[in-house]
Structure 1
């Protein structure tokens, strides 16, 4: 039972490595370091402290008293941010509570079935890893969905502006007419503008909730028009065309790299397939790999090599658009 548990734990981590390293999203990746990000940070510095303080109070009002105390710790504040980015309708306390309870239940079952201590430790950590992977997957899906909807939203904003309506009304139309996640985001921005918040502050808050390159491009166009003037309709039309072209190129890159990703899956999983075959053909010989200290050392080195290989392949096929 212990040998089987070790094998399943190693198989799980192998699938974890390649799924995180090789399953690249078409879009929806969080923007980190770019020229647009630097511009927005400069714009944020121009906002007065009083407005930022009011926005922080508005943010805290949506939390429970327990969450307000927890977000004072940076770790829990980051987890809360991840939950918001994922669009999950669950409180920070609930997701932490269920995760802790599940991890202890899994640990208890592992001890009861007589697993090795390192298998028990791996299973305990796996619960947290799986929760993290689930949240990250939801974040990627939500941001990807937002990027797919944004060009259509820009077209709607452009039509409203051409009809002579203010941009506030354009945000309201997008929020009312389009589905989530873009609908709810534009509704929140419209509500902030209705409460009297500055346009730059409301837009930057929207960027914080949907930190994608597409959103950075849209927000830069709006903030630039707010500060220097110009034809916002024409700028949004150009941004929409660029976003559609970018998304089309991302799809093409994913199609062209499909063969490389499939090869990576085969190369990483083939050692486990070979071991399963050996278990049926010669069980005694197969058990030596996870019972003999030299076998454990070889498996450990192999796992590290698999992780390095998967991450290396990711760097090769992950072309930034």
Structure 2
């Protein structure tokens, strides 16, 4: 069936040679071949001449009269010639330059086929396109092979960032070659003509891609070593002036600075003592120094003064507040764990009191039978009592160390009972009942406000995660903005409002029980 269609096309083509003459207008011919004046000088370049020029761009013995883009220099060509990328069974080992020459070589042959349908004045023979079906098919297969080699050789990062656009253009040309064959086989001359004009336009686009810088391309800066030295000199002067200014401020406020340092040392000692009281062995100066050192290191790795100030400032701030913040978290979590064990402890002590054991013995039972942290607290209380402290003072020490409202109620009940009298067993039973009911209510409210708490976490954490992701994928543009005074102010502004947002959203789910 296909042979019959081809045969009919051939007969129609040979029977009407005048149709080939009128298929392309003068403007179409000039668009494909270009335009020359009476002296045969090029007035306007056509697609065919541009394809030929692109082919010569990557030729080893390129004609020096052919103007090439500045980026196609001897260094680049040398690297392309010495870079084998494809093993062809017929042509052997092909280098990078040869692989880019192949599509343009095939396209030049294509335009030579098209020329054969032009009038003799334009170098043609007025041949009907239908008579050249086999030649067009061979040309299409050759181009498809050249295009496929570029894809399979992973040449998308070639040509200094222009290869992706070139390969995409070749893909469109490959589609138009299918259109050429479709028009020839079906006898649709307009389809054939449109495909040829489309290929010519795409060849012009391919040529233009090589003439301009790709997106994101930064042209190499001119040698400005003299200006850079001047800028470096003034930068050093600025650093020196800033250092002298800081030194003078420090000298004038020497007493205040020493006082602040002494107060912070005292606070650090208090923190160390509090950590010991929470049964946590940790060195406070590590908590202070580690964030500062991390901020200093990250700031130096940015190789940017504003980046250094941002990260080092964050490290200093984190180092100053980390010990107190961590201590608060430890106390809160330890108090929550004690509250979780308090009901079982009070049941144990209540049963001991009912069996005739005194309060000191019940505390000893809690120390032996319960798990930390409440066993540690009652053990320390018992140890203080044996060292001579009154049991009331020893229990108040637990209340001071442990951040727990329910444990505080229990201790106050014991102290009041010892001072005014009463049935401690019934008091314990009543407190246990209240704790049980309150625990149910707390769990219910926690389930009801889980969404608000998760939203608060998302509001606070997600912007910083997105910032880190953007820094990971686009470090240069992000650093160019955030490591500037405006970027620093933006970060500060965002931090304040994110903190406010977290507080507001968290407050929506804060229910006092």
Question: Which of the five TM-score ranges fits, normalised by the shorter chain?
Answer: 0.5 to 0.7
Does the 8 Å CA contact 1:106/1:124 hold for their aligned counterparts? no
Identify the structure with the greater helix proportion. 1
Deviations 1:17-74 (A, max 9, x none): xxxxxxxxxxxxxxxxxxxxxxxxxxxxxxxxxxxxxxxxxxxxxxxxxxxxx99x75
- The counterpart of 1:220, out of the listed 412, 420, 426, is 412
Pairing of 1:134-213 with structure 2 (within 5 A): 134-213=326-405
* Higher alpha-carbon deviation: 162-171 or 245-254: 245-254
Partner residue, 2:423: 231
The secondary structure found in structure 2 opposite 1:202 is: helix
The match for 1:259 among 451, 469, 473 is 451
Contact kept, 8 Å, 1:85 with 1:210, in 2: the verdict is no
Provide the rounded CA distance (Å) in 2 between the counterparts of 1:104 and 1:278.
Answer: 25
Larger radius of gyration: 2
Q: Could you tell me which residue of structure 2 aligns to residue 87 of structure 1?
A: 279
Residue by residue over 1:150-175, the C-alpha shift from the partner in whole angstroms, topping out at 9 and shown as x without a partner, is 11000110011001111110000110
Q: Give the structure, 1 or 2, with the largest relative contact order (CA under 8 Å, sep 6 or more).
A: 1
- Deviation per CA, 1:179-211, whole angstroms, max 9, x where unpaired? 111112112222233334323212211211223
Q: Give, in whole Å, the separation in 1 of the partners of 2:410 and 2:492.
A: 47
What are the Cα deviations for residues 220-254 of structure 1, in whole angstroms up to 9, with x where unaligned?
A: 11011111111000001111111222222222222
CA shift, 1:268, in A, is: 3.6
Q: Using the alignment, how far apart are the partners of 1:187 and 1:273 within structure 2? A: 44
On the 8 A contact 1:87/1:138 being kept in 2, the answer is no
Q: Does 1:109 align with 2:311?
A: no
Q: Does 1:247 align with 2:435?
A: no
Where does structure 2 lack aligned partners over 5 or more consecutive residues? 1-261
TM-score by length of 1: 0.67
Note the C-alpha offset of 1:132. 4.1
Q: Distance in 2 between matches of 1:262 and 1:75?
A: 34
Corresponding residue for 1:317? 509
The C-alpha deviation readout for 1:235-294, integer Å capped at 9, x for no partner, is 011111112222222222221111112223333445446556766898776556425544
Cα distance in 1 between the residues matched to 2:490 and 2:298: 24
CA root-mean-square deviation = 3.1
SS of corresponding position for 2:417? helix
Pair 1:168–1:126, CA change in 2 (3 A): same
Provide structure 1 residue ranges, at least 5 long, that are not aligned to the other structure.
Answer: 1-69
How many residues end up aligned between the 2 structures? 248
* Greater CA drift, 223-232 or 283-292: 283-292
Partners of 2:292 and 2:319 within 8 A in 1: no
